[in-house]
Structure 1
Amino acid sequence: MKKILFLFTLIALVSVILIDNAYAETKYQSVKTATTIDLGLLDIRADYTLDFQINSPKEILSGTTEQVQITPTGGVVITSIIFNGDNLGSYTSKLDLGKVVTIGIPGGYGVELFVKTDAGASVKTRGPAVVSSDFFMNNMTPKIITVSVNDQIGNYDSVTMTIPITLYTEYGANINLILLNQKLASDTYTLQTNPELLIHIPIKKYYSTTLNLDVQDGKSPGYIKIKPTLIYDNGELNESNVAIYVDADWNSSVKPNQWSSDIHTGSGMHVIRAEFSQTSSKYNKAIIFQDSSDTQKFTVKSPPKSTSKPNSNYVEKNHLTCGKGTHQENSECVSDGIFDGSQSILFVIILVGAITTGVIIIRMMILKSRKSYNKGKKF
């Protein structure tokens, strides 16, 4: 006996857990309506209230099917009676769908009222989903609505269902005497209730992403450029930036699918990591792009070492050493001309000597010509 009780307890616990997982959202709504009924000597006003418990999923993934459970939990019908011009008062009765409720009329000479109510529901849907057809309720058991969400959700971020409830109520009167029980009159009424049941379920559409990282040297030593290529099912994803880490430390945030400006890393080997974090679309909060990352090892170039020799045509002024046959002019070594250096001195000496010799010869010629002139004059 104890084993049987334990088994039933276990089954009950499992059922509760399954129900809790299947329906994450629970809310309660009531609908109301009223009508006036003429049954000969009886004038009746009936006010209805019907309560519902609605269990629905917290959200629905695109391309999946979920269930919504609607349960009528109870209600009341308040009947106000005027019999043969006399106000007999108001009577509150429990409203159970599909059951007949009788209301005795004090001083009614064996006349009693009866009410039997059923309900119908039609489901109107807004959103990218197919919903199961309308349903009829002639008891208080739960009803299931199946909601199948399309894989492509467009601009929608939720599925909204509005469910107007219609009551089909039979109202009548019986004469109930000791030897006689007979229906006097009855009629069936179709009553629209207010407000409509409202069910709102968010949609989630997940896209996986792929991130590929390209790295190259920047314009200056110790710098790099990167291009994180981020794609998903529909092509390139450009809505959010990509975080860049250098040797596990955050460095910068860059736009995807284009080369970045120079990023300083320092020269040498580095581990470059690009990370895209899960984020919702800026254009539809129902669309979620999942995270992805990529890592590259890259050796960043160092500044070049100076190994070139000084240009023979240019040497810094403080370190100028000019070769033979050259001399310094404006921080440059230039070839000597005929008027430059030792050659210029020799040239000046020769020139002075030639001029002196020429002058002596000319003077000697002048003296000689004078002597010849004087000698001829004597004769």
Structure 2
Amino acid sequence: MSLLRRPSSAAEPGPEESAVRAALGTVLDPEIRRPITELGMVGSLEVSTTGAVLVQVLLTTSGCPLRDTLERDVTAAVMRVEGVRAVRVDLGVMDDGQRSRLRDVLRGPGGERDVPFARPRSLTRVYCVASGKGGVGKSTLTVNLAVAMARDGLRVGLVDADVHGFSVPGMLGTTDRPVKIDDVVIPPVAHGVKVISMGMVVPDGQPVMHRGPLLHRALQQFLTEVHFGDLDVLLLDMPPGTGDVPISAAQLLPGSELLVVTTPQPAAADVAHRSGGLAARTGQGVVGVVENMSWLPMPDGSRLEVFGSGGGAAVAERLSRGSETPVPLLAQVPMDVAVREGGDAGTPVVLAAPDSPAALVLSDLARTLGRRARGLAGRPLGVVPV
């Protein structure tokens, strides 16, 4: 409960209830990112002629970790209404009926469980960030792209699809856990990105020992039970290789595109080509290739090519030969100590050191991918034969 007062003026009129409700409509739930009025989170509301306002806010769970944030935002919004002199916020908890209605608001009546990003009318751009082998910086790249896109104003979701080797929560610096409302899961938000990972649901240090069917099921749950809402971009951090999860992602998200990550050395490029070749078998497109750790900038301005050169261009050229459209080399990301430091600290380099060499390249790549229009494949065009 909070109580905030401001000095009164005898000439100041009392507030209108409609104005108070309109102000409450500007408050977003910090987890779901939708107005609390739309979610049924506003319970009773009392507005007195003296300017005192009592508002009841219903939390989805009694242990809501962001209750203080919600209380503060409600208080601030109502205090901006003309004539309001004091605000008191009482926090309650939704009952079963209210939670059920909230679930219907989030998922729609009937609670259909499908992959919203696979619907023909979905406008969300879906990128599966893939590599042929581990250690090429794929997760670091995915996290920085997601955060850079969110910083630029896009609505971004991130699925850590590396069920066995998850690392995204640590790189984003979040220890928050998803909130479950009946059978709807609300993902945590880190640096403006809605994110879900197996690392958020298993105890620290416990290995995930899933085989084929369970891996498919885990990815399916991430895509059907987690409520991301309307997104501009969904990024999937894929496990390396061409095994169960990449195949399942292609089946569950037929309109998705692969972003292939490699390093300059020929051995890594050869394996990365196989990962991109999966798209030809599954019907996915390849949006392009990113060469990571391309060189190390030296103090004198020269470049030290630690892992050789040409790997990214070679992968792009080989994938282009097997594709109907050219596959470009989208970016070459230099080695940068700030990248490692940002990942270890939980603040990605595009935020921690935005002017560093790697951050500049990653930010440009994020803008390129974020501006691309979703393809027309599988989407209804509103045309009927006559």
Q: TM-score range by the shorter chain?
A: under 0.3
Structure with greater helix share of residues: 2
TM-score normalized with structure 1 length: 0.19
Looking at both structures, which has the greater relative contact order when contacts are Cα pairs under 8 Å and sequence separation is at least 6? 2
